[in-house]
Structure 1
């Protein structure tokens, strides 16, 4: 019996109702109170705190299960960072895509420096395989993070080839 089926087993509502609520909450910009109202219109008497408990409890399990079925990414990555406004504050968005354009990973940070780039690469490599080639712009922080990764990798593992392209943000 899988972890997800065990988690759904002890809940007092049918699995399809729980799954539908989670899908609507995670896919659309609905508040828990909006979702409570929608479910009451459909005849399910749910409280928003119950919905919140489902989200907290089941979302990590669903994420874990979906990652097992994730399509494998390529070994040639393009990585770039940009700054975006999130809730009125400027943040740096680190993002990597493979050669087919599939998103590998992303990270939001408050600062743009080598530690943030290194954190991004560790996170991306942990969820995917080690890339053969990473194409970056002329960012000093990204280059330093990749050099650090190459210095600290096992000698049996091939090093990451670093390519630099000045106008990479047009492709990522």
Structure 2
């Protein structure tokens, strides 16, 4: 296998601890994780691609790498995430988990940068409120939120406004949400080869990795160390 341009610096402590139990070179593990969250590939596709490169790894092993490493990589990414704008577009999309539809809440700002995301079992006021609380906690309060005509989303944001000194302006005009609806497609395109998730926890973790890679591609990661670093280099740098 061609040598991968992964960082050769001290690993983050949490990642170093996980890698001790994975018994494969760091380069192989990170390449598999990045390809899985970044491209429309199944786990069996990755098993076959690694075999062609002389590396024997079972698809279930790749899945285990993703589940163990993605939460750590996402946590590191959030430390380096660029600030987002104050005008948000918020919406939810549908994903199938064990044959049942679940709801991925997402928001982008005016230029299309991802603000935050949250997978929930139900599509209701508590789910929407939890999403807004998470997004505001991570990114600060927006000035305006554009959303569709969902009563649950409206009620959730009104409840948050009731406790705010400066209420968030709410705009429920469907055509203003085109950007977030278009942005959903990048996530859905990646999840399609998975043919549905097997459990909620795995879905939440994998979606986190997909969203991180999507944000990196959109230029949302601060790269103080590397000027002009590729998306792959930025992803690998999260391990150091």
TM-score bracket for this pair, using the shorter chain length: 0.7 to 0.9
Rate the CA distance shift 1:138–1:45 in 2: closer, same or farther, 3 A.
closer
Q: Does 1:169 align with 2:185?
A: no
The yes-or-no answer on 1:37 pairing with 2:48 is yes
- Unaligned runs of 5+ residues in structure 1 are none
Measured at CA, do residues 152 and 8 of structure 1 come closer, stay the same or move farther in structure 2, by a change above 3 Å?
Answer: same
Q: Distance in 1 between matches of 2:21 and 2:101?
A: 43
Query: Residues 95 and 45 from structure 1, CA distance in 2 versus in 1: closer, same or farther, beyond 3 angstroms?
Result: closer
| Aligned counterpart in structure 2 of residue 46 of structure 1, from 57, 65, 71 | 57
1:171 Cα deviation from its structure 2 partner:
4.8
Which residue pairs with 1:70 in the alignment? 81
Q: Equivalent residue of 1:163, what SS?
A: strand
- 1:80–1:168 CA contact under 8 A, matched in 2: no
**Count of equivalent residues:** 168
Aligned partner of 1:113 among 124, 130, 144:
124
Given that residues 35 and 48 in structure 1 are in contact (C-alpha distance below 8 angstroms), is that contact kept between their aligned partners in structure 2? yes
2:57 is the counterpart of 1:59: no
Q: Secondary structure at the match of 1:131?
A: coil
| Secondary structure at the counterpart of residue 115 of structure 2 | strand
Instruction: Tell me the distance in 1 between the aligned counterparts of 2:159 and 2:50.
Output: 51
How far 1:73 moved relative to its partner? Answer: 0.9
Q: Which residue of 2 aligns with 1:98?
A: 109
Q: Is the 8 A contact 1:138 1:165 kept in 2?
A: yes
Larger fraction in helix: 2
Instruction: Name the structure 2 match of 1:159.
Output: 167
1:130 positional shift: 1.6
- Unaligned runs of 5+ residues in structure 2 are 1-9, 181-240
Distance 1:11 1:142, change over 3 A: closer
State TM-score, norm by structure 1: 0.75
Structural RMSD (CA): 3.0
Q: Distance in 2 between matches of 1:24 and 1:132?
A: 36
Find the aligned partners of 2:171 and 2:40 in 1 and give their Cα distance.
39
